[in-house]
A and B are shown apart, each in its own frame.
Chain A
Amino acid sequence: MFKQKTIEEVKSASRKSSSGTTSNAFYNNPRIRGFFYQIALVAGLLYFFGTIIGNTLANMEATGIKTGFDFLGAAAGYDVLMSLISFESTDTYGRIFVVGFLNTLLVSAIGIFFATLLGFIFGVAHFSHNWLIRKIALVYVEIFRNVPLLLQVFFWYFAVLSSLPGARQSLSLGEAVFLNVRGLYLPKLIGGDLSSLVWIALGAAVAGIFVLRRWAKKRQELTGQQFPVLKTSIAMVILFPLIVAALTGFPFTVEYPALKGFNYFGGITVIPELMSLAIALSVYTGAFIAEAVRAGVQSIPHGQTEAARSIGLRENKIMSLIIVPQAMRVIVPLLNSEYQSLVKNSTLAAAVGYPDLFNVFVGTALNQTGQAIETIFMTIIVYFVVNMVISFLMNRFNSAVALVSR
């Protein structure tokens, strides 16, 4: 169908098109065509998914399954174990959704915090000069990375936390902190009238640290003199609020948990479902982060350490000033995916009954209303958005730690 064109033909064709007297119609313009194909593709996809959704809804209608989002405004009629906002059984499914969402954020945040802590401690411990510490780091990683997470959640819940004594035989620490099979009970600070001043002082201290850091850095660049930033910061954070508290006459009362009837009331309760899930997620993800940290540190050539030594830096300074900042470029992208898995893994909450989004919404709400498509759709969106946000923040962080060439 196509005969080979001679060089001359091609040349003249291109001359023609550049002089504007082209015989080629607009549909031969690659840009317009590309645009059209994209539109066609999107339209095709929309049509495809639209048909599937339409058919599903029609089928559900035909089999008598309720559809639509009206259920979000209906009273749920059941209670949830733990809620960061007030919740009663007369509240709606919409509120259940928020309750579950906040609980998911809570356990994910706790998990990410402790997993990072454990990961960095054990990751760096791998390079310790102490044989025992190195081996402990190795055993930690190997054990917790290789046992299925669900098993670990069960272990902490059913083997460890369930064997704690009952409510009336609680373990206690100075009659202020109590631990029993129903959870950990901590005293709670209740602020009086002037307590907000103390919090303002704390905020001022934190803001002051940033100012101090910038000032110290500038001074070092100009004069070469170092300022003890860390020690000063710690002192500020402790002293500022303390002084204000003393001046205002300590406007706090402490609420201690106390046994009333069946349970401890008052103070802060950390339920064992949350504890076991948070511990399991932290320890499991921590093992992966430890490996990421190890990989990051190993990626820095040994020459860097030697060079640092030769200019007379101390060992701990070599780690914090030379190795870790460079290793972060390798570690941060890995952290990103570990954090995202942690959020997704938090759906194992259902195994121990922690009321996270998946458990209260895809579990109970779906079961009571039967509206599978709607509940699952809403839940997928939430996990998707949360992970997009994590990804966004970590990418920002990544570009902050990336090597800046001067």
Chain B
Amino acid sequence: MLALGIKDYLIKTPRYTVTFRQFLTMNVDENDSLKIVGTLVAVEKEQQPTQKRIYIMAKKALLTASILAATMTAGAVQAATLDDVKSRGTLTCGVSTGLAGFSQKDENGKWSGLDVDMCRAVAAAVLGDSEAVQYKPLTAKERFTALASGEIDMLSRNTTWTHTRDTSLGINFAGTNYYDGASFMVMKDLGVSSATELDGANACIQAGTSTELAIADYFRENGMSYKAVTFDTSDQTRQGFESGRCDFLTSDGSQLAALRIGLANPGNAVILPEVISKEPLGPVVRQGDDQWFNIVKWSLNAMIEAEEQKVTSANAADMKANGNPANKRLLGAEGELGANLGLSADWAYNIITQVGNYSESFERNVGMDSPLKLARGINASWRDGGILYAPAMR
């Protein structure tokens, strides 16, 4: 791994004695390496002739550098996220800074929403407790860095699954929990009823989103011009729109619905009919930890599958005992599904009893009875004419 042009040293620590070369290939933690540097320094001081002091200092610097470098490599080796989460006892989940229906904190500090339910489902599957989640609010710009740097275990923040993100950011999309598309919202008094009338208008957009790209394409394609006024958070974007800095606000349709109910007077704004892009939103994990990737992917699928099987939080206990073979497999009464993921047999049972199936989560957070009033549309199960479809649970 590291080519070293210096002599081999014997390294003695309270725990082991190895040669320096061996040491470089070991997994060490920071404390160890600091102790080792300390030991080397001490040993060499005793026997150094004065003339060689600086030579030894240079050698020590080299050693320290190599040890640090070795530690960095060792530390960066992909740790198993599952073990980290288990030993920590909580899941750290990246969410938005506040978006009604998807991830929003109430006055008691409790998070709720469709994306929050995704975090809760994984916590229920892994830790058996849907409340053992630590939420990390992130702006669009911060989210991928937070995930790549290991600050969060997973990202569940209305994030569009795009080819570029999936292939070049070192991340993996674990599925889609809401199929969306970018749209426009305008104030009624602007007198605009179609996006094609927006030539020369100003757009309020959140920085670092796929919407920035979608709108550039749309205006170019239609030979129209616009000015992009970008903001860091959705609150600022909404303020910019309300103050009149922009003529329209553009984002994914579900987010427009959420932002609209946050306006001082929601009745003044309308969402235009055009949908200009595909925005499949879903949970994201770091690349390189397939076990964790599987856990998040199948936690989402368990919620979708439960709806297909008509298993709900209310009837799950009964179905587990008395249901058909598919019910029993899903809920852990039969089969090895949990064990294959490295989880307990009741992983999906915990998700469904504590969070609910996909339909329950949808209706509670964004459905017709919620303030957002979003129809299921294409987000219905394939059995009801939508495109939500879980791979086979066997």
Contacts and interface: CB of A to CB of B under 8 A. Distances in A.
Interface of A: 1-2, 28, 33, 37, 40-41, 44, 47-48, 51-52, 55-56, 58-60, 62-66, 77-81, 88-90, 158, 162-163, 165-167, 180-182, 260-263, 265, 272-273, 350-351, 353, 355, 359, 363-364, 366-370, 372
Nearest to B72: A55
B33 interface: no
A370 B169 contact: yes
Contact of A64 (B65, B141, B229, B287): B287
A80 B207 CA distance: 10
A263 B200 contact: yes
Given A41-B58, A158-B239, A364 B200 contact: no
A76 to B, nearest CB: 9
8 contacts: A37-B58, A41-B58, A48-B61, A58-B73, A77-B213, A89-B220, A158-B239, A262-B201
B76 A55 contact: yes
Interface string B11-33: 00000000000000000000000
Interface in B306-351: none
A370 B141 contact: no
Contact of A182 (B61, B73, B171, B245): B245
B21 to A, nearest CB: 15
A44 B167 CA distance: 36
Given A62-B288, A263-B201, A363-B208, A162 B243 contact: yes
Given A51-B65, A78-B228, 18 more contacts: A48-B65, A62-B288, A66-B167, A77-B216, A79-B228, A90-B220, A165-B244, A181-B244, A262-B190, A351-B232, A353-B207, A353-B229, A355-B230, A363-B208, A364-B230, A368-B164, A370-B170, A372-B148
A167 B232 CA distance: 24
A44 B65 contact: yes
Closest 10 CB pairs of A and B: A65-B170, A370-B169, A89-B216, A367-B208, A48-B65, A51-B69, A162-B243, A66-B168, A166-B244, A78-B212
B44 interface: no
Contacts of B72: 52, 55-56
Contacts of A370: 144, 148, 165, 168-170
A369 B164 CA distance: 8
Of B65, B76, B244, B245, chain A has the most CB atoms within 10 Å of the CB of B245
A165 B190 CA distance: 15
Contacts of B51: 28
Contacts of B243: 158, 162-163, 181
A181 B242 CA distance: 11
Given A65-B148, A65-B168, A51 B66 contact: yes
Interface string B46-68: 00011100100010011001101
B158 to A, nearest CB: 15
Interface residues of B, number: 59
Of B167, B170, B201, chain A has the most CB atoms within 10 Å of the CB of B170
A93 to B, nearest CB: 13
Contacts of A51: 2, 65-66, 69
A47 B226 CA distance: 50
B286 interface: yes
Contacts of A78: 212-213, 216, 228
A263 B202 contact: yes
A37 B148 contact: no
A163 B239 CA distance: 11
Of B76, B78, B169, B217, chain A has the most CB atoms within 10 Å of the CB of B169
B242 to A, nearest CB: 9
B369 interface: no
Nearest to B165: A370
Nearest to A162: B243
Contacts of B69: 48, 51-52, 55
A89 B247 CA distance: 20
Contacts of B169: 64-66, 370
Contacts of A182: 202, 244-245
Contacts of A366: 141, 145
Contacts of A65: 148, 168-170
A21 B228 CA distance: 79
A3 to B, nearest CB: 13
A180 B244 CA distance: 9
Interface string B213-248: 101110010000011111110001001100111010
Contacts of A59: 73, 76
Contacts of B290: none
A245 B145 CA distance: 57
B199 interface: yes
Nearest to A269: B227
A142 to B, nearest CB: 29
B245 A272 contact: yes
B219 to A, nearest CB: 8
B232 A353 contact: yes
Of A63, A262, A265, A355, chain B has the most CB atoms within 10 Å of the CB of A262
A272 B212 CA distance: 20
Contacts of A261: 199-201
